[in-house]
Structures are given as structure tokens and as C-alpha cells.
Amino acid sequence: MPPYGLGFPSDTAQSAYYPGESIITQDEILAISRLLEKHSIFPENTRIQKVSRPKAHTFEVLKASVEHTEPFILEIPSLGATMKVKGGDHSEELARICASLSEAKKFAANEKQKYFLSDYIESFRTGDLEVYRNSQRTWIMDKSPRVENIFGFVEPYRDPHGIRAEFEGLVAIMDLEETSKLTKLVESSDIFIKRLPWTGNDENDGKGPFEKALFEAPDFTSIHSLAYCSSIIFPGINLPNYNDIRDEFGFKNVIIANRMSAEGNKAQGSPFIDPAELDSFQRAKYPAYYWWVVLHELFGHGTGKMMAEESEGKFNFDIHDPPVSPLSGKPITTWYKLGQTWTGQFGDLATTLDECRAELVGAYLMDDVELLQVLGYDENSEITAADLTYNVYLQLGIDGLRGLANFNVENRAHFAILKCLLTDSNGCVTVDYDAQSKSLIVRVDRSKIVSHGKPALGRMLLRLHLGRCTADVQSCREYYEELSWVHTEHLAWREIVLAKQEPRWVFVQANTFLRGEEVILKEYAATAKGVIQSWAERQV
């Protein structure tokens, strides 16, 4: 069985999300998480510590906040134990962050920025995530600021249970010229949403029941990161992650241009490309990847409607005449019950499935002639539209192979997509494996991209989308786990992938310091030492 992510605590593994000497079990984590959900306590800024005593266990839910609050106690009947929820986790670090945000507030460009900075501070001070959610409502309304920011407990990628998030912070400067190009795509977005696999009937203006009635054109900007403090440096971001806020207020997309530029590095090897294709692949590599990420963020993370009970007895669909699933041809039988969330229901599967779905949306649209024309590519452009599409399918194969090296959230998604193409595209994508020479070469049949490759991606995308929209955890898990399963044949491929691995990229973030009235930008060497030094001097 492949490792699907960072492991749960055990005799041979530990997780900072579940600290302490006593090993907490997955069943205990699940029971506590469900109890927190029942009491409307958001999990993103919490950790769980198991404290073993001779007669009973106690579970301490450590909430990140500056303030050390008195614990309140809940009984966990299924475990025969008690749970204490208390604030003050990461108190010193958050106090320093709040002090810096208070200073930043003095230089806010408008009232909206003052409001969400105040909410940041209040949330980090008290640990109240409802206040943080309110900050996100205001942050969304701060359109295309010259200085963009993201702060908070945002992404749950490193929690083995898939719901607790790590703190991250980003400050960036907007690129006006690149942002204007993205705006043109956003203005045409409604056209291309109607070409996704779950749309097509007359309902909901051609978008079908599993898509929002109104696609609010989001804020979409290209930014250059000044500092990005996170264990994962994403090329693009779509926030907030709270679906109820997204449905009511919309969302923001950002493309981090100076992170994306790493993908255009010609020095990066391509051991899984036929040498005869290497020059043409490298030439189209950056624009193909760039626009794939753009579509991933805008249409991948920006589409879909969760079938949900929004308040007692009130649903966002007709409960007496539920929408018909295009997979079964029958009315849906599952949805999100009151208080249930996407991450809460899908747990460890949520992040990898969400990334896989977004990657599929981007790739699915990358052969759309009209869309590529909006982006400036046709049969007469220097890099043709067909070349861009071909490169994306090659990249799907390459990313799938590389996914075998480190089976984390995104790599698992990439491998699942490769498996889909290998098994369901009638030879559109193949992998030449030579055990003797220890080589793997990705092949793409151009003539089958539209006729077989795209439909294969569409079938997979539809399965994931419907599972996500209808909270159909069981069938979605069965399908995705089978598709991402690493068989014996793939383990032989993995040995070659590991042997051909290049040194991992090092993203080293600058720091700013005040010297009197002057702001000093300090950069660091792109080495392990430089990374450590930058984090140490950041004091967070």
C-alpha cells in the first residue's frame, strides 16, 4: 500500500498536529473531530494531544491563540473519555504576528484593509475562527490591491487527517501588465464553464444543477511574492477555502509569478521526454504550465456547487425533486447535512481529491481553440495552440511519473491522472519502459488527444466532481483509491524515477527589516543554510 501522505502518529512516526508521548489513534482523532464539528468548533487552528492516565485518557484540543483561556470540557461517549478545549497554543509567535499586523494597519490603503487586518488580529488573539471567517469576507472585497496578503491557518495538506491547517503568511506586489491579461480570461469565464463535463442541459442557463447559478467573476491577479512563509510554495492560490463564503461572496485567485518562473528554468532536466522532442517541449514548457495553472485556479477551484442543507430543513436544491446524477441517471441520494463540510466529510481524501479535480479541469480545457485564442495562441502564433495542448499532455505523463517519488497530496493526484490516461485513453498517452536501459519515456499520440485523451479526462473529472458536490464519500473513495493504487509494475517505474531525480528546488524567502525609517530587504542564499537562516531571522 503506498503512503498517501504524512503519517498518523505511531511507534515509528510522529505528527506535530498530534503531539505528546501518548499515541493517539485514527479512531480517536475521528471521534474528537466529529464532536468539535457538532459543537461548531472549527478545526483549522487546533491540535490534539492525548494525555494517558492510569484510569482514563484525556484529550486536550490545543487552540492557537495569544490568550491562554480556561479550558471547557466535553464528554466523548464513544471513547469513554473527556476532551478539554483550551487556548494559548503558539501564543508567543502569534503575539509577535499581531504586533506586526498592528503596525501594518497604520499603512492600510483603504478601510477594507483596516477591517480585515483588525479581524486577523482579533482572531489570532482569541483563537476565534468565526472572526477569521469574517476577515475573509472583507478580504475578498479588497479588489486587486497593489500589495496583496494572505495570513492564517489556511491549508490542511500536512495534517494526516486532512482538516487541521498550518499557519502561513504571504505579502506580494501586483504585476499590472500580467493582471490585465488574466482579466480578459475572467471576463469570458462563463462561456468556458458551460463546456465542462457536468454541464450541458437547459437547466441553470446551460450549467446544470451541479454548478452555481451565478459565477461571480473573481478577482484574478498576477503577483510577485516578497515573502511567502509556508511549507508548500504554491504557484497559484484560490481562497478562501470556506465554501459557504465562496458561494455568497466569491473568491480571489492569485498567480505567483516569481514562483511560476521556476517552471521555465531551462536547466531543469526532462529525463522522461524523447530526446528528439526535447527542444520543442522546453520551448512550450513554461507557457503551457503557466496557463494550465491559471485554468486550474480559475475554473478548477472556482467551479462546482455543493448540495447542502444550509439551515434546519432548508436546502440549496429541491429536496423533494433532487437533481439527477449524470453518472447514474437517477436522483442523488447524498448531500452535505447541516454543519457538515467538505474537509470534514472527506478527511484525508479532501485535499488530494480537490487538487486532482482542479488539475483535471485545467487540462480538460487546454485544447479549447476559442479559449486558447483568448490567451493569444492559435495556428499562427510562435508557439501554436496545438503545441501548447500537446505539451500539457506530455506534462501530465511526466508529473504522473514524478508523483511516484513522493506520494504526497499533489503527487498522488498526478499519478491518478496518469493511470486514467494509461487505462482509458485508447493509447493517447503511453509510457515506454525499458528495464535493461532503465528508462521511461512518455509518448503522446497527437491524433488521439481530442478524440480519446480529453474524453478520458472528462470521465474521471465527472466522477470526482459529482462525488465532491454530493458528499458521496464512499464511492468517491473507492474509485480514487483504486485509480491511485501503485501496482508492482509501477514500483519498477519508481526505481527509475528515484534514480533520475534531480536536487529538489529550494525556495528561499527574503525578509524585511526596519532601520530607522528605512526598509531593508535581506535576501539569502538558495541553500539549506539560507532557508534556515531566513526562517530564524523571521522569528516566527
Q: Catalytic amino acids?
A: 297
d(CA 57, CA 82): 7
CB 468 within 8 A of CB 476: yes
Residue of 464, 412, 456 whose CA lies nearest to 430: 456
In 3-state terms, what secondary structure has residue 291?
Answer: helix
d(CA 249, CA 229): 26
Strand partners, 252: 219, 239
Residue reference for cell 505528527: 15
- For the four alpha carbons of 170, 172, 177 and 180, in that order, the dihedral sign comes to positive
Cell of 10: 505511531
d(CA 281, CA 317): 46
End-to-end CA distance of the chain: 37
How far, rounded to the nearest angstrom, does the alpha carbon of residue 16 sit from its chain's CA centroid?
A: 21
> Strands 236-239 and 219-229, how do they pair?
unpaired
In 3-state terms, what secondary structure has residue 348?
Answer: helix
Upstream peptide bond of 3 is cis (omega within 30 degrees of 0): no
CB 420 within 8 A of CB 457: yes
> Strands 252-256 and 236-239, how do they pair?
antiparallel
